[in-house]
Chains A and B, each alone.
Chain A
Amino acid sequence: LAKTTQPISMDSYEGQEVNITCSHNNIATNDYITWYQQFPSQGPRFIIQGYKTKVTNEVASLFIPADRKSSTLSLPRVSLSDTAVYYCLVGDGKAAGNKLTFGGGTRVLVKP
C-alpha cells in the first residue's frame, strides 16, 4: 500500500481557498487517490477521487500531476463549516474488497 504524507494542520479564513497537498511517492499504477472529510464525532465522508489530471465536483477540486507522486485537494471559498480533518488515501480503487487505509489527516481550521 502506498504511504501518504500530508500536513498535520492548516489555518485559513472564511472566503479563502484552501489547498492541501498529499505526497504518495510509491503510488502504484492501479492506485486511485481519494479524499475524505471528517467532522468531530462523525464518520468520515467521501469528498472526491481521481486518477490523474484534474477532477472537480460541487465540493472540491483534485489536482494530480503527471507523475502522480502527489495530489492537491482544493477547497474554494471555505466557510466556518469546512473546519474538519481531511484525509488522503491511496489504494487500488477497482479491486474487489479495496482496502481503505487512513493516515493522520490534516486538521483544517477556518477562522472568521
Chain B
Amino acid sequence: EAEVAQSPRYKITEKSQAVAFWCDPISGHATLYWYRQILGQGPELLVQFQDESVVDDSQLPKDRFSAERLKGVDSTLKIQPAELGDSAMYLCASSLANAAGEAFFGQGTRLTVV
C-alpha cells in the first residue's frame, strides 16, 4: 500500500537553529498538507499545496517558517530560527485533487527544541 513518507522521524535541535522536514506524498496526489500538532490538541493546518502552488498558508508563521513544493511532488518545511514553542509533531498529508476529504497522513516528525 502506498504511503506518505516523512523524514526524519525525530529531531532534536537547539533554539535559534534551523531545522527542515521532508515529505514525499503518494504518487499522483496533487494536494499536499503540512500540519503541526501540539501534544493533546488536534492537528493545525500550516500550509496546503495544490501541485506546486500554495493554496492556503494563512496559519503559517511566515517570519520563521517556509514551505516549498518546487516540482509539485515532494515538499520541505523549514523553521529558522527554531523556538522552544515549536516543539510539536509535524505531519504531512496528501490527497487526490478532488478527494472529498480523504487524505493520507505520514508518520510525522517529532520535533523537540531545547
Contact = CB atoms under 8 A, between A and B. Distances in A.
Same complex for A and B? Answer: yes
Interface of A: 32, 34, 41-46, 49, 85, 87, 89, 91, 93-105
Given A42-B107, A42-B108, A96-B50, A49 B45 contact: no
B9 to A, nearest CB: 9
B106 interface: yes
Contacts, number: 76
Interface of B: 4, 30-31, 33, 35, 41-45, 48, 50, 55-56, 89, 91, 93, 95, 97-108, 110
Contact of A99 (B45, B105, B106, B110): B45
B49 to A, nearest CB: 8
A97 B31 contact: yes
A4 to B, nearest CB: 10
Nearest to A34: B101
27 contacts: A32-B100, A34-B100, A34-B102, A41-B89, A41-B110, A42-B107, A43-B4, A43-B93, A43-B108, A44-B93, A45-B105, A94-B98, A94-B100, A96-B31, A96-B50, A96-B98, A97-B48, A97-B55, A98-B31, A98-B95, A98-B99, A99-B55, A99-B56, A100-B103, A102-B35, A102-B43, A103-B42
Contacts of A49: 100-102
Nearest to A47: B102
Q: Which of A42, A49, A98 has the most CB of B within 10 A?
A: A98
B79 to A, nearest CB: 19
A95 B98 CA distance: 6
B41 A100 contact: no
